[in-house]
Amino acid sequence: MLAIGTLSRKTGTKVQTIRYYEQIGLMNEAGRTSGGQRRYYVKDLDRLAFIRHSRQLGFSLDSIRELLDLSDNPSQSCAEADSIARRQLRQVEQRIKRLQALKKELKRMVAECDGESVAECKVLEVLRDHSECLTNHDEIGA
Amino acid sequence: MLAIGTLSRKTGTKVQTIRYYEQIGLMNEAGRTSGGQRRYYVKDLDRLAFIRHSRQLGFSLDSIRELLDLSDNPSQSCAEADSIARRQLRQVEQRIKRLQALKKELKRMVAECDGESVAECKVLEVLRDHSECLTNHDEIGA
DNA sequence: TTGATAAGCTACAGTGACTTTAGATAAAGG
DNA sequence: CCTTTATCTAAAGTCACTGTAGCTTATCAA
Ligand SMILES: [Zn+2]
Ligand SMILES: [Zn+2]
Ligand SMILES: [Zn+2]
Ligand SMILES: [Zn+2]
């Protein structure tokens, strides 16, 4: 039986995060010692590792929930798992595209400013006026 | 004098978001009609446009706050504005790098699965075992 | 057995940048 | 005057955690 700190160390997950996963039903409720501390089986460690690895690959907790459900029923077809992964791939590709457009704009504004006063700062000028941009960027955030 | 809905339409910002910006001190408190509705000057519209354009380019609200402060003092050197933009550029480049590594892994796992049962699903296999990966991905999320 | 230290517990607030909801009030046009 | 549209406040919800406070349990040496 493993203590929560062991799971934490073995998977690089904060202890609070493990408790959080339990709270939202992603991890099963762990057994407890007489004093109330959580104790885990190796299969719980495996599940946590799966969750963390999926997070590292950018999957949302909702997607991970689906993937875990599928993984628990080995007889089904894996079409659904594959489609979740393909969706994730498309999202990543979209993000890369968007970020590359941002990179281009940022690079240009930084390059074109020669560091004079704020009044002539190219960076601030572009931020004030989108018509100075080469690309459209209608979505917000990262 | 412009109503909040006009600012909303002209900048593509939700009305609530404009009120949120006021609440956190990013937009000045607007004047009010006798009935308590907000009324804006064109300079407020410009400020909001600046904020939204900066958000589209991925700047955080904290960075935008600094940029607005600088923009309000035209006599200073723009070194700080430029450095904020360069920092943003570096961040974007980092993100692109990370996402490209994710893309590679996702592409590979999707490509290598031939859609048999869950038991042999390459996607799930990789998620279970990071040693199947070609790259390290220690940070989490996007 | 004692006592120190490390590890764990709950409960709740905070993060960023909003979005959503509910219920009430104001403005504008016919 | 009436209806419709716009606006108001206040509070909770989102995502995926992280941090804090104040306490209890487990472990090991002396
Ligand atoms: Zn400059
Ligand atoms: Zn632009
Ligand atoms: Zn598969
Ligand atoms: Zn991996």
Same domain for A56 and A8? yes
Question: pLDDT per residue over B90-139, tens digit each?
Answer: 999 999 999 999 999 999 999 999 888 999 999 999 999 999 999 998 88
Question: pLDDT per residue over A45-98, tens digit each?
Answer: 999 999 999 999 999 999 999 999 999 998 899 999 999 999 999 999 999 999
What's the CA-to-centroid distance between A50 and ligand 4, angstroms? 10
- Quote the Cα angle for A49-B106-A7, to 5°: 5
Domain boundary pick from A60, A90, A106: A60
pLDDT, residue B140, reads 87
Asked whether strand C has any atom less than 7 Å from the CB of B62, the reply is yes
Mean pLDDT (whole number) for B45-52: 98
Same domain for A53 and A96? no
Give residue A103's domain range: 79-132
Domain boundary pick from A32, A60, A88: A60
User: Is pLDDT at B6 greater than 80 in this prediction?
Assistant: yes
End-to-end C-alpha distance for chain B, whole angstroms? 42
Amino acid letter, B91? Q
Tell whether B72 is covered by a domain: no
Query: Which B residues 41-70 touch A at CB under 8 Å?
Result: 46, 49-50, 52-58, 67, 70
B126: enclosing H helix or E strand? helix B122-128
Closest Cβ opposite residue B100 in set A53, A96, A118: A96
Percentage, residues of chain B above pLDDT 70: 99
Q: How many CB pairs under 8 A join A and B?
A: 186
Tell me the ligand closest to B83's alpha carbon: 1
Same domain for A86 and A119? yes
Torsions phi, psi of B14, nearest 5?
Answer: -65, 145
Tell whether B35 is covered by a domain: yes
Closest Cβ opposite residue A106 in set B92, B102, B141: B92
Tell whether B73 is covered by a domain: no
Number of domains in chain A: 2
Using a 7 Å cut-off to protein CB atoms, list the covered nucleotides of chain C: 7-11, 16-21, 25-27
- Point out the nucleotide closest to B26 (alpha carbon to C1′): C17
What's the CA-to-centroid distance between B47 and ligand 1, angstroms? 18
Same domain for B88 and B51? no
Separation in Å, CA of A20 to nearest CA in chain B: 16
Q: Which of A122, A111, A135, A130 lies closest to B81, judged by CA?
A: A122
Whole-structure pTM value = 0.93
CA distance A91 to B27: 33
Same domain for B87 and B39? no
Same domain for B88 and B56? no
Helix ranges (H only) for B4-60 are 4-11, 15-23, 42-56
Subunit contact A140:B52, Cβ cutoff 8 A: yes
Tell whether B98 is covered by a domain: yes
Tell whether A68 is covered by a domain: no
CA distance A28 to A23: 9
Tell whether A65 is covered by a domain: no
Same domain for A15 and A56? yes
Same domain for B51 and B84? no
Same domain for B48 and B92? no
Same domain for A83 and A56? no
The CATH number that applies at residue A44 is 1.10.1660.10
CA distance B7 to B42: 9
Percentage, residues of chain B above pLDDT 90: 92
Tell whether B47 is covered by a domain: yes
Tell whether B138 is covered by a domain: no
User: Is pLDDT at A29 greater than 90 in this prediction?
Assistant: yes
Residues 24-53 of A with CB under 7 A from strand C: 30, 32, 36-38
Q: Classify A140 as helix, strand or coil.
A: coil
Tell me the angle at which helices B42-56 and B61-71 cross, rounded to the nearest 10 degrees: 130
